[in-house]
Structure 1
Amino acid sequence: MVRIALLSNPKSTGNRAQLPAIRSFCANHPEIFHYEVEHVDQIEAALRTIARVDPRILVINGGDGTVQATLTELYHSQLFGDAPPPVAVLPNGKTNLIALDLGANGDAIGALQRVLEIAQGSLEEHIVTRELIALSQEDDGVWDGLKPTIGMFLGGAGLAEVMLWCRNKVYPLGLPNWLSHAVTLLALIFSLVLGMRAAFLPERAAPLKVSLIRQGQLQGSFSLLIVTTLRKLLVGSKLAGRPSSAGALQLMIVEQSAIALVCAFVASLFGKLESQLMRGIHVRRGDEIRIEGDRSSVILDGELFHASAGRSIVLRQTAPLPFVRLAA
């Protein structure tokens, strides 16, 4: 009997070292159906095959980009009908925001063992639901006709520039993840907090306009723009508890100010972001968010999108999807 379907991306950062151990673990546990893909174009075919074995849990073994591509196909393809299996995410990749939000800490083998234990009993107490972000683009107010991309964490403004700088300048150096992120943190401090400008530092974010349906708009230059349906953010703080009637999309914007950025960081460490009313920090909820700008970039779970003159980015919340929380 197949209890778990494991979808692995061998090219994700963590799998370069740990995939042999994962393959060995699966070989010793016939109740795990292991399917490997090397490109996101293969994920639809993988899910089609996985649907035939009808697993109790679908486990994704890859970085945030792999998770995003899988959730997009899972949401649009309807291969599992109206009752998709709950999704678990192994700690992998470079950032692991989604895995961390679901309580997957430590190594992938330990997390997989935990999923297997859960799959052998009642799932109910381990299931949590998460709304997702559906990103689409419009040209002069007309939808571009493409399927919305599905994800759970979007970074924009100065944060997007720092993330792109890390991806393009730091990761190619082959440094350990912790050192890459330490270097990126220093770059963030120099560029966003201290306002330094240099050719080797991230570019300054372009002005943009962020509109929340029925809640007005914010316009200007921002250090941080975050939209998420995750309960935890980069530094482990919580923007909010359960989704409210205002919407499941949690928005945080920090204006281009060193004081505002430092205050936001300190407040987030103590989990006080939503309750704090601080100048230059805006925390909102909504079910639809529109981002517009002349040359602004946003990153949704590793995938890059651009807002330009006449071309806007629209974010909408989806119906909830079941996930497996691994923490006890």
Structure 2
Amino acid sequence: MARVALLSNPRSTGNRSMLPEVRSFCAEHKDIFHYEVEHVDQIGTALKTIARVKPEVLVINGGDGTVQAALTELHHGGHFGGPHYKNGPPPVAVLPNGKTNLIALDLGASGDPLEALKRVLELARTDMVPHIVSRELIQLSDGTVGARPVLGMFLGGAGLADTILYCRHKIYPLGLPNSLSHMLTAIAAIIAILFGVRAGFLPPMPAPVKVSVLKHGEWQGQFALLMVTTLQRLLLNGRMPGAGQPLGAMQMMAIEGTRGVLFRALVAAIRGRLWRSRVSGVHLERGDEIRIESDHSSVILDGELFEARADRPIVLTPTAPVPFLRLAA
């Protein structure tokens, strides 16, 4: 029986440079079972094999797509059954190895992925209970009965999705550090909306969408930012309304894409009040079902691209709580 099972994707950007160190570390510690996949399609087989060694912790080492695929398979695959897993699958830890690392950040993992792995092993050798936290996952589907939803923890839509795609296709290829790439992307998006600039080197204006939160209302228009998450912590130490409260609903923020609203939202964010107070044109809601309807508008769930259409909306619902291992004290 292994204390830690490590699932790695050698093709993820971060692993191209640091995976040899991870392999060496695993070879020196026999209580780590290391399984590598070359493609996300192999994750189901990987988890089936990992379940046989009965790990105390499952660690995901890969980019956003690897994490998203692993969480989906973990939820739907049913690999962790039997007496050893009577309380469900082992807690999940995520190494900070993606471009944005939002899930890892929420779980207290940042900086060097190898140092995070060492911390996981340290916790696995002790009583982990104080470090186990629950998070719901977001189920994304088109509402079709019997369809297998895709799972994740952070969804960006409307102008945010356009900005993420802009960063992915225009900024990342420049080879800049992630933090600088994200800063340049944010500046470009703000310039495009605040000053109404239209240019091929800037993010496009967001397409109109309709967002509805069950029992709370609906909003329609162009949104500079649309996010839905079950994370407690975001970039820049932002915390969604209700963070720390009992689980039971997804958290949504939608910022209307007008110059005045964006300016007020920026001021509130700088003053640290965006997440805690109501700002005109900024919609903060919690709900058990969120629908996104549009004519060919993109949404991105943990790195994977989907498209909302007028005849096939994006439907989001939460899962039951899933155990995760928080690395910070």
Give the TM-score band, short-chain normalised: over 0.9
> Offset of 1:185 from its aligned partner?
2.0
Would you say how many aligned residue pairs link Structure 1 and Structure 2?
A: 323
Q: Structure 1: how far apart are the matches of 2:126 and 2:7?
A: 21
Partner Cα distance (2:236, 2:145) in 1: 35
Q: Give distance in 1, aligned partners of 2:301 and 2:327.
A: 24
Q: Using the alignment, how far apart are the partners of 1:89 and 1:162 within structure 2?
A: 25
Is 1:92 paired with 2:97? yes
Match of 2:264 in 1: 263
- Structure 1 runs not aligned, ≥5 long: none
Alignment of 1:59-208 (within 5 A): 59-81=59-81, 83-138=88-143, 143=144, 145-208=146-209
Q: Are the counterparts in 2 of residues 136 and 313 from structure 1 also a CA contact under 8 Å? A: yes
C-alpha displacement of 1:266: 4.1
Superposition TM-score, scaled by structure 1 size = 0.94
Is the aligned partner of 1:242 residue 2:244?
yes
User: Which aligned runs of 4 or more in structure 1 are off by greater than 6 angstroms?
Assistant: none
Task: Tell me the equivalent position of 2:84.
Answer: none
CA distance in 2, matches of 1:218, 1:265: 21
Distance 1:145 1:194 in 2: 46
Q: Which one is further off, 269-278 or 187-196?
A: 269-278
Q: Aligned partners of 2:96, 2:63: CA distance in 1, in Å? A: 8
Cα distance, 1:187 vs structure 2:
1.4
Counterparts of 2:43 and 2:258 in 1: how far apart (Å)?
Answer: 42
The Cα of 1:258 is off from its aligned counterpart by: 2.9
Matched position secondary structure for 1:191? helix
Find the counterpart in structure 2 of residue 219 from structure 1: 220
Contact preservation (8 Å) 2:290, 2:315: yes
Query: Which TM-score applies when normalising by structure 2?
Result: 0.94
User: Which 5+ residue runs of structure 2 have no aligned equivalent?
Assistant: 82-86
CA contact (8 A) 1:63 1:95 kept: no
Counterpart position of 1:276: 277
Distance 1:131 1:190, change over 3 A: same
The one-character-per-residue Cα deviations of 1:157-212 (angstroms, maximum 9, x if unpaired) are 11110101111222233333233223212211222333211122111111010011
Q: 8 Å contact 1:158–1:192 — kept in the other structure?
A: no
Would the aligned equivalents of 1:236 and 1:269 in 2 still touch at CA under 8 Å?
no
Could you tell me which amino acid in structure 2 is paired with residue 191 of structure 1? Answer: A
Q: Percent identity?
A: 61
Distance change >3 Å, CA 327–CA 164, structure 1 → 2: same
Contact 1:238–1:268 under 8 Å retained in 2: no
1:164 match: secondary structure: helix
Whole-Å separation in 2 of the counterparts to 1:217 and 1:124: 40
With over 3 angstroms needed to count, the CA separation of the structure-2 counterparts of 1:144 and 1:268, relative to structure 1, is farther
CA RMSD of aligned residues (A): 1.6
Q: CA offsets per residue over residues 215-269 of structure 1, 9 Å max, x none?
A: 1111111100000000112322111223457x42000000012332243344345
1:303 equivalent to 2:304? Answer: yes
